[in-house]
Structure 1
Amino acid sequence: MAERYVLAYDLGTSALKAALVTFTGRVAALESHPVHLHLLPGGGAEQDPDEWWAALVAATHRLLARGVASPGQIAAIGCTAQWSATVAVDRSGRPLMPAISWMDTRGAPDVARLTGGPVAISGYGVDKLWLWIRRTGGIPGHAGKDSLAHILYIRRARPDVYAAAHKFLEPKDYLNLRLTGEFASTYEAMTLHWVTDNRDPYQIRYDPDLLAATGLDRAQLPDMLPATAVLGKLRPDVADELGLRPETHVVAGTPDIHAAAVGSGATRDLEPHLYVGTSSWISAHVPWMKTDLLHNMAAIPSAIPGRYLIANEQETAGACLTHLRDLLCEPGEAAGTRPEGGALNPHGVGGPGGEAACLDSAGAPAGAADPHSAGAAAGGPHHSGGPGAIERLLAAAAQVPPGSDGLIFTPWLYGERTPVEDPWVRGGFHNLSLRTTRGHLVRAVLEGVACNARWLLGAVESFAQRRMEPLRLIGGGARSALWCQVYADVLNRAVHQVDRPLEANVRGAGLVALVGLGELGFSDVPELVAVARTFEPNPAHRQTYDELFRAFLTVYRRNRGLYARLNRHTPA
């Protein structure tokens, strides 16, 4: 019999990926098409939903043209996409304004007004903390990057759009609407609207008290389904546009972080994975809802029925390496583009010479598994700094001893979310000398990002009340053997480098769809995701990295007030 496939889509901040995933979870073919991000004054970040769709069509056509599968072999479609972005659409499904990106902070003052109070803890009114944490497991973030903040901003700044909006949709739900005509979302995708009662993972629902507290209109929010639900079939006109059969099923799907968790293979309870792309996180599925307000971390609904997912995020990881690459490149080499550094590029990302040109040796886009932007950092040739720019930098870093001769890099280039929520903190090199070389700078970036992960790991292990080991490593950073070893040494944990780590997101989207079709169970997933190599911590480096980590924390604690004074009126 001819092999059958899921057509999986992964919409990031700078590219859309389309892949054919076999019924055993293998990515058989992948194509990518760039999309642009537009940064605006005052913390705005927007994208064009029509450009998303055009990218989906273009990537699909190229994928099918490779001849790996015929339309008749594609059993279903599954989408994942950047999470906590907002598309306001009218009754016909037409966008009423550009999509507000997960990076947009213009709703921060609206959230502050909503969640404050005369008696406050960490800026939150005590009564508000009790209401939200007890029912949702968390509370709207002060940074203003949650979906709720976007809608509140639209209500304040664009009342015409708010009044005309039939639904506010997450990006994957907008793609599903275009595919099927259905206005729908999934339980875990709606978490960051902060209006769902999540106490029973099998009975998540919109909560009347939370809707009243936020002032959101239930009619403007989509109905919710499980991530594995079959949403419907392709609209006939869309089937013609894509070159697929109208009988093709569309599974509801899940956001990027949830898809990456599945695609890492860590679907059993308390099995951790570490994602290293533009951003980074350490996460695991757990059987309980829990909140750590101090470290801005919570266990929230996951794509797996009856399970929660530890949610946290380090804002910049691989983006630090690609930003350094662009700073070190000659002007002629960089050509004015920054395909991986979406958060740092004021002119948009993914254009000519950008991600579409960034191919690894397998022909996959360099950012193919990055949930939030194309940032997957390490190891791919042909970046904006010229062929092999990242490889040359990593080779230089490999010549520098562990600890970078005392050079410390702090990776807070876009503020920070976890293990501290601090929008004013900024990155930097500390303890530079005339002996500092380019290799020192690069290795210090690798170690500084890993030190931040160690800081986060301590909070995650306290949250989970267990040692997290081994850690499955996915994302662009996992392509670098040097960075994998740095992580193992800095964290003092065994690190499992997942095979083809850039494909974790799109593989996860395909696996969720396969569960929805009844072809797999989530318990089957760990055996389907191979580990390419295991990196053990080197005991000889233990003292060096313990000292470096202590100094890393000292830099933050002694300078956080300075960062706030310097940056309070300067968005990242």
Structure 2
Amino acid sequence: MDEQLVLAVDLGTSGCKTALVSRSGTVLAWAYRPVTLHLLDGAGAEQVPEDWWQALLATAHEVLDKAGVSASRVAAVCCSTQGEGTIPVDREGIPLMNAITWMDMRGAASLRKQVRGWVNVAGYDPLKLARWLRLCGGAPALSGKDPAAHMLFIRDMYPQVYHNTYKFLNVLDYLNFRLTGRFVATHDSIQTSWVTDNRDVDRIRYNDKLLQASGIEADKFPELVPCTEVIGVLRADVANALGLRRGTAVVAGAIDNSAAAIGAGTLADGDAHLYLGTSSWIGAHVPQKKTDISAMIAAIPCAVPSKYLMMAMQTSAGNNLSFLKEKILYHQDELLNEEQLPDVYKIFDRIAAKVPAGSQGLLYAPWLYGERCPVEDRSLRGGLFNLSLDHTRETVIRAILEGVALNTRWMVDPVQRFLGRKLDCLTAVGGGATSNVWCQIFADVLGLPIRQLAEPMQANAIGAAYIAFVGLRQLDFATAAAQTRYRATYQPNHVHRNLYNDSFGAFTELHRRLAPLYQRLNHQGL
């Protein structure tokens, strides 16, 4: 009998990647479609849910055609998606407005009103903060990037939309509805709504006091399910559209950080992965709930039973390169015919490899849209520092790669304190991890070996597939982790160590000195 397969969907901020994956983690076919991000005045960032769906259908068709396998071999569909998005839908599941994405900060003012009291600690009513930390393991981000703030923004600024909302769905929840017709949220997709009691990670549930504190009516939240639950079968119209058999299972799946941790093979406690996509993070499974609110690091529910996932989130990583490509180097007319362009990111790699480490003293701050860890500050912005006539376009490209790595190094100390151990390696995943040059830069800047997956861009899809096979009881997570394949390991170049130590010292001093100025300059836009 032919081996069964999973149609695994990885919907990120930049686009939708879909793969056909076997139980051994082999990707038989893979396809990608970009999705437009709409940046709005006042720190808004939206996407059109129908764009996600059309990208899913197009990529699914392509991989099924490429692989040429019988539909009977596709046992399940399972999604991994960007997290912290918010889509208000009516009773038919139809979106009532564009999706508010994880980058959107327009709800910050509404959130601050909701979380404050007569006396405040770090911007929160101390009793509310204590409850969030005790039950959830964290608290709503004052930056406004959580669904907790998005929903309040809709309530306050779009009251008719709020009135007509049947359920608020995260991105994963919306795709699952389109696939099955069922309104559900997974244990990890609901996390940053900050309304669940997470003390028993295998029995996540809504808490009445947290629901009341949210300012959102309780019946607007969906049913909760574990990531590995089979939530139904493909709707007949979807099965017909994709050419899959009716009765194909749909497994709940996970948001991107949970799926990446599984696809990276980092299952053991404290074994960390570094995700390099539009945003970036360091994640590691841990055995218990814990929070470091000063560094904005928390252990949150994930896809692996009886485990939490430590998350340290960096807001901007690969989007610094896409900003350079789309808003500096190429005109919009050229991007409309992007298939005629060379592979710009590979060109960036070749250019950066020719520039000496340290970028000739040029520093880059990668804070294009504020920052979350190790400081939560929505006023921070990106910039080049120490630019001179001696520098070139090539130097700037290298400085951007180094700037993201320096910001990641800023997170490493609080991550190690959180884990109670030194990191001995990081497994790099995501689109940015396909760059050999960037992996070496990270190894040099962090002073850590960087282990590169065999197919870094497919880690989330592979993670989603493993979640599906576990849900179908055809695999366990330990076996899945043992199947992980690597392309290379990059060792730190100690000749560069002192140079990057100096760069890091200047980088953190730059933040310390400029943070008050950023807050003053950007206060009106916040």
The verdict on a shared fold, with TM-score over 0.5 as the criterion, is yes
SS state of the match for residue 252, structure 1?
strand
- Aligned amino acid, residue 159 of structure 1: P
Q: Please give the per-residue CA displacement for 1:327-355, whole angstroms capped at 9, x wherever unaligned.
A: 55364xx6354xxxxxxxxxxxxxx445x
8 Å CA contact 2:14, 2:278 repeated in 1: no
Q: Name the counterpart of 2:489.
A: 534
Q: Name the counterpart of 1:449.
A: 404
Q: Please give the per-residue CA displacement for 1:83-125, whole angstroms capped at 9, x wherever unaligned.
A: 1111111222222222222222121111101112233222222
Q: Where does 1:187-202 land on structure 2 (aligned, <5 Å)?
A: 187-202=187-202
Q: Please give the per-residue CA displacement for 1:234-281, whole angstroms capped at 9, x wherever unaligned.
A: 122221122111121100111111111111111221100001122111
1:325–1:91: structure 2 CA closer, same or farther, 3 Å change rule?
A: closer
Q: Name the counterpart of 2:272.
A: 272
Q: Aligned partners of 2:316, 2:262: CA distance in 1, in Å?
A: 22
Q: 2:379 aligns with which of 420, 424, 433?
A: 424
Q: Name the counterpart of 2:311.
A: 311
Q: Name the counterpart of 1:118.
A: 118
- Aligned amino acid, residue 229 of structure 1: E
Q: Aligned partners of 2:130, 2:15: CA distance in 1, in Å?
A: 39
Q: Aligned partners of 1:63, 1:317: CA distance in 2, in Å?
A: 28
Q: Please give the per-residue CA displacement for 1:189-218, whole angstroms capped at 9, x wherever unaligned.
A: 111110001111122110011111123222
8 Å CA contact 2:29, 2:64 repeated in 1: no
Q: Name the counterpart of 1:261.
A: 261
Shift of residue 40, structure 1, vs aligned partner: 2.3
8 Å CA contact 2:316, 2:369 repeated in 1: yes
Q: Name the counterpart of 1:240.
A: 240
Q: Where does 1:73-222 land on structure 2 (aligned, <5 Å)?
A: 73-222=73-222
1:64–1:568: structure 2 CA closer, same or farther, 3 Å change rule?
A: same
Q: Please give the per-residue CA displacement for 1:5-47, whole angstroms capped at 9, x wherever unaligned.
A: 0011122223222210111112110122333222222222222
- Aligned amino acid, residue 158 of structure 2: R
8 Å CA contact 1:262, 1:508 repeated in 2: yes
8 Å CA contact 1:485, 1:537 repeated in 2: yes
**Greater displacement, 463-472 / 47-56:** 47-56
SS state of the match for residue 556, structure 1?
helix
Q: Aligned partners of 1:99, 1:37: CA distance in 2, in Å?
A: 10
Q: Aligned partners of 1:320, 1:537: CA distance in 2, in Å?
A: 24
8 Å CA contact 2:17, 2:30 repeated in 1: yes
For structure 1, the residue ranges without an aligned partner over 5 or more in a row are 338-351, 358-381
**Greater displacement, 182-191 / 8-17:** 8-17
Q: Name the counterpart of 2:344.
A: 389
Q: Aligned partners of 1:403, 1:490: CA distance in 2, in Å?
A: 10
Q: 1:335 aligns with which of 320, 333, 336?
A: 333
8 Å CA contact 1:29, 1:68 repeated in 2: no
8 Å CA contact 1:409, 1:427 repeated in 2: yes
Shift of residue 3, structure 1, vs aligned partner: 2.7
Aligned residues: 526
8 Å CA contact 1:7, 1:74 repeated in 2: yes
Q: Aligned partners of 1:108, 1:570: CA distance in 2, in Å?
A: 11
1:88–1:73: structure 2 CA closer, same or farther, 3 Å change rule?
A: same
Q: Name the counterpart of 1:405.
A: 360
Shift of residue 326, structure 1, vs aligned partner: 4.2
Q: Where does 1:468-479 land on structure 2 (aligned, <5 Å)?
A: 468-479=423-434
Q: Name the counterpart of 2:62.
A: 62
SS state of the match for residue 544, structure 1?
helix
SS state of the match for residue 66, structure 1?
helix
Q: Name the counterpart of 1:290.
A: 290
Q: Aligned partners of 1:65, 1:516: CA distance in 2, in Å?
A: 26
1:315–1:220: structure 2 CA closer, same or farther, 3 Å change rule?
A: same
Q: 2:418 aligns with which of 444, 463, 472?
A: 463
Q: 1:486 aligns with which of 441, 452, 455?
A: 441
Shift of residue 539, structure 1, vs aligned partner: 1.5
Q: Aligned partners of 2:330, 2:156: CA distance in 1, in Å?
A: 44
SS state of the match for residue 254, structure 2?
coil
**Greater displacement, 237-246 / 220-229:** 237-246
- Aligned amino acid, residue 208 of structure 2: P
SS state of the match for residue 281, structure 1?
strand
8 Å CA contact 1:129, 1:139 repeated in 2: yes
Shift of residue 515, structure 1, vs aligned partner: 0.8
8 Å CA contact 1:268, 1:285 repeated in 2: yes
1:35–1:322: structure 2 CA closer, same or farther, 3 Å change rule?
A: closer
8 Å CA contact 2:286, 2:299 repeated in 1: yes
Q: Aligned partners of 2:148, 2:328: CA distance in 1, in Å?
A: 39
